[in-house]
Chains A and B, each alone.
Chain A
């Protein structure tokens, strides 16, 4: 299976790529889908009477259907965006800013990527609301007792990541959803690290919004998805009003287009959306259960090998079942960027720094940042063994 998968990613012949939490590589099928669109179907969507425009529109709409199938949503519930940050901001500026009032509360956690912190902070400042942060424990996992304390009658939105982009910690989403429902709050899941790596069914999750990126799931950069429950999306004010979002405009008002188009203002990333659908098709063919199981195997191996190196500190939950395929660590007192540069010189790509999660790093006692190795379906146990060998040499440097 893995050898066959790797044939689809020629770039992997040259490098050990462990920076998948930042962006993944694209298989030939995704590159080909975009190329084919530009060569044979390129036109703007939903605006032209000519054949090319009709075909482009059909392909673009079919791409929405594919993504809907990928997360078990309805077609109208899938909005194509630029990335997870864009998806969250659409909720912030399309729902939160119109529905929150002074004294309301948004609850999020200390483990969030800045994308799931800063939009809420700005909206709250504008509306006189409060943003409350659920504490994380020493493993970077949200403390549920703190969540129970913070999620109260004033809470209107609970915004939580489905998987930490630093530690790989998977919080208890079910419990967060239950707490949100008990007080009548909405729940938004930042699925940037979750959706690409495990089976996701929005009906089972029962979330109100789910945001994720295409480029972290084999798709093109500049693509993402916002899932929202149909009723909410219908009520929500378009955060990107303009071309393509309306049925009619008069000087007195406007009639918004149907879903999902009212939330996709302007000419969209058509080729990107089609490429994203090719990525989702690829993942569905491999099987998301397999992807998750494979990453658990890789993560278990990485945790076992790396924890054996003298002077290495690994962050995140100890049990592999409670985390995704992300292993953040530091080597003694070495600057993480130096560790990354040394690994890069050996042909291993990892991420170093604060990974857009400064508060979490401070909480974990790593204000200088961490080295992050993150895995995907095309990585192998042999690659992790090589990482282990190189890290042993780096750790031997004083």
Chain B
């Protein structure tokens, strides 16, 4: 998928300060308002060398839509892991223009 990259996970995590892990999955939230609000809040305040880990259920959210949201806030997505429809992403700021 364009814009979402797969990298060496541990090396990637080690370089960043992970602010929070958000699980955008049905089991955790019936309504996706809460995790999305959390994510957009973090995206709008995230600084250089900071990141957010996101677990998404691709049956509910496409990778493309999450990537588009990250991109809108000047952030990029990296796939950390993928199992079935569950994908773990690292979202980090790719430019420091806050």
Contacts and interface: CB of A to CB of B under 8 A. Distances in A.
Interface stretch (B13-21, B57-65, B88-96): B57-65
B36 interface: yes
B72 interface: yes
A362 interface: no
A184 to B, nearest CB: 42
A390 to B, nearest CB: 10
B2 to A, nearest CB: 11
Contacts of A353: 31, 33
Contacts of A335: 32, 36, 60-61
6 contacts: A334-B62, A334-B65, A337-B36, A342-B65, A394-B65, A394-B68
Interface residues of A, number: 17
A341 B36 contact: yes
Q: Counting chain A CB atoms within 10 Å of each CB, which of B36, B40, B64, B65 scores highest?
A: B65
B96 to A, nearest CB: 18
Contacts of A250: none
Given A397-B62, A398-B62, A342 B31 contact: no
A3 interface: no
Interface of B: 31-33, 36, 39-40, 60-62, 64-66, 68-69, 72-73
Given A344-B40, A345-B73, A346-B72, A337 B31 contact: yes
Contacts of A344: 40
Given A345-B69, A353-B31, A394-B68, 9 more contacts: A335-B61, A338-B66, A341-B39, A341-B69, A342-B69, A345-B40, A397-B62, A397-B64, A397-B68
Given A397-B62, A397-B64, A398-B64, A338 B31 contact: no
Interface in A299-351: 334-335, 337-338, 340-342, 344-346
Contacts of A394: 65, 68
B68 A352 contact: no
B32 A342 contact: no
A350 to B, nearest CB: 13
A337 B60 CA distance: 11
A393 B65 CA distance: 10
B72 A345 contact: yes
Contacts of B62: 334, 397-398
Nearest to A334: B65
Q: Counting chain B CB atoms within 10 Å of each CB, which of A340, A345, A394, A398 scores highest?
A: A345
A342 B60 contact: no
B23 to A, nearest CB: 15
Contacts of B39: 341
B3 to A, nearest CB: 11
B61 A338 contact: yes
